[in-house]
Amino acid sequence: MSWKRLAIVLALLGAFQQYRWCTRRALRPEAVDCPKVDASRTLTPSDGFTGGDDATARAAQKPALTGTTFHAYGFGVTVPPWAMFFVPHAGEDMRSYRDRMLPIAQKAIAPQRARVARSRDELAQVIHMDAHQRAELDGATGETASALENRVMGAVANGDFDPATFKAMTGVTLAKGLIDDVERGNQRWQASLSDEQRAKLAQHPFDFADYLVFSTPWEDLLKFLD
């Protein structure tokens, strides 16, 4: 396994483990033995306050704002309040959550989609791709995207992502299948190129996997919520 494959496998496993961890989160209970702060009492030197106006004293009495803390496997991570905007809110259904987050995701990915489109057009000029080779690139990209979607949706339907029964090797098998799908798509497209074109491609920054990830409108999968 090359380092690129290993990096992809680890990234996929890390993403799933993050999902699994978040679905089993438990909020930290509030401390019941913490002393109450009397907002009406003025701080004195005996309290460790050495000076300042009333506004400063009141600010010193206020507890620092903290986000939500999640606990799992003996570790606790505090999520900043601003980051909680990106998780589903209380009472928010999946359609409403999609409608709220989709424009943000599309805006964030737009520069990358523009980048891979420019790289594709530049490559077409550098290696002199003809209409058939362009069609093979588009066909291989669409075919690979469909294969990836079917594989992931099949795993979801089979319960492979159920946190109660998930095993690491299940994730490894799924990741290997996804990588194989991408390799088949790349080989299909490169089979349409000549040896000279493939040699020029090796010196160009265009990458089939990069193009696949950012050019495919993955957000269309969310239309099933309509």
- Report which DSSP code applies to 135: H
pLDDT reported for residue 111: 94
Domain ranges of the chain: 3-24+88-225, 35-79
Q: Tell me the pLDDT tens digit for each residue of 65-121.
A: 455 665 555 666 777 777 777 777 888 888 888 888 888 888 999 999 999 999 999
Structure tokens at 143: 């075919």
Out of 8-17, 40-49, 101-110, 144-153, pick the least confident: 40-49
15-29, 73-87, 137-151, 181-195: range with lowest mean pLDDT? 15-29
Q: Which two tokens stand for residue 114?
A: 């523009």
User: How many whole angstroms separate alpha carbon 77 and alpha carbon 67?
Assistant: 10
Given a contact cutoff of 8 angstroms between Cβ atoms, the answer to whether 152 and 163 are in contact is no
Helix locations, the chain, DSSP H: 3-23, 54-61, 94-126, 131-157, 168-190, 195-202, 208-215
Q: Are 5 and 183 in contact (CB under 8 A)?
A: no
Give me the pLDDT at residue 219, please. 85
DSSP track, 71-86:
EETTEEEEEPGGGGGG
pLDDT (tens digit per residue) in 116-168 = 999 999 999 999 999 999 999 999 999 999 999 999 989 888 888 888 888 88
Whole-prediction pTM: 0.62
> Which band of pLDDT confidence, cut at 50, 70 and 90, is reported for residue 211?
very high
